Amino acid sequence: MSDSNRGRQLRRRHMHERQAVVFGVLLAGLAVAGVGAAAVYTDTIDLGAFDRGFSSPSPTATTADQVVCPPAGALPVGYDQITVTVLNGSGAAGVAGQTAEELATRGFVIAGTGNATTQLDGTVRLSFGVNGIAAAYTLAAQFTDPILTFVARDDAAVDVTVGSTFQGLVAVEAVTLDPAVALTGPEGCKPVEELLAEATTAPTTAETPVETPAAEG
């Protein structure tokens, strides 16, 4: 074999080796990205070290016996008009993603999922602001013994934090909402105007959201 032919063969071999290395690196990168995306979606990876856009806003200062009432005469909100972020506070991987999928199946708009900053020792907490009260009461009908937490936020979205005793959504046929019947709050609830007025004079040292059970039905 001539030196020129041997040189061409060597060059072709080196070129094939470089191509194999490049394709191998690309495939490995895609595999890592896919595994990472799946882990984030199923809550396997803790996002606490990153800047999350789905964390609950700071709570409004209230007292333990103050529950915000739904607006007078407010009817249940259409599911497709309620934007929900689901946070995993259960300590078990994948709960937020599964819950988000089930809510999406029922027609709710899912803004995203993530991990709660702390574990919730309860079933589920719904965090909402002044413009999301009716949406929160509508969403609460999907859960057993939900906790309604009124927080300082201006949008109408609702954060759902699933807790350690969460057992899944209420069966569709068991959801007790009548689109023609106004929403009602638990006994002793207060209009939002009263709560906001009291919050302006309440001590500012309260850092933990007040958690109170929502009315059934």
Q: What is the mean pLDDT of residues 23-42?
A: 49
Asked if residue 12 has pLDDT above 60, the reply is yes
Q: Percent of the chain scored above 70 by pLDDT?
A: 61
Beta bridge partners of 48: none
Asked if residue 80 has pLDDT above 60, the reply is yes
Q: What is the mean pLDDT of residues 30-52?
A: 44
Burial of 126 (0-12, 13-18, 19+ CB in 10 A): buried
Residue (of 74, 69, 81, 78) closest to 214 by Cα position = 69
137-194 pLDDT, tens per residue?
Answer: 999 999 999 999 999 999 999 999 999 999 999 999 999 999 999 999 988 898 998 8
Residue (of 73, 83, 123, 140) closest to 107 by Cα position = 83
Asked if residue 70 has pLDDT above 60, the reply is yes
Instruction: Report the alpha-carbon distance of residue 215 to residue 131 in Å, rounded.
Output: 19
- Binned at pLDDT 50, 70 and 90, residue 52 comes out as very low
Instruction: Report the alpha-carbon distance of residue 115 to residue 42 in Å, rounded.
Output: 10
* Strand-pair category, 212-213 with 146-150: antiparallel
pLDDT of residue 196: 85
For residue 186, what is the DSSP state? P
82-112 pLDDT, tens per residue?
Answer: 999 999 999 999 999 999 999 999 999 999 9
Which tokens is 145 given?
Answer: 């013994």
Question: Model-level pTM?
Answer: 0.65
Residue (of 148, 160, 78, 177) closest to 114 by Cα position = 160
- Binned at pLDDT 50, 70 and 90, residue 67 comes out as confident
* Strand-pair category, 109-115 with 212-213: unpaired
Q: What is the mean pLDDT of residues 36-55?
A: 41
User: Would you say how long the chain is, in residues?
Assistant: 217
13 or 207: which leads in pLDDT: 13
Burial of 40 (0-12, 13-18, 19+ CB in 10 A): middle
Q: What is the mean pLDDT of residues 28-50?
A: 45
Task: Round the average pLDDT of the chain to a whole number and report it.
Answer: 76
Cα Rg of the chain (Å, integer): 25
SS3 content of the chain, % helix, strand, coil (to 5): 35, 15, 50
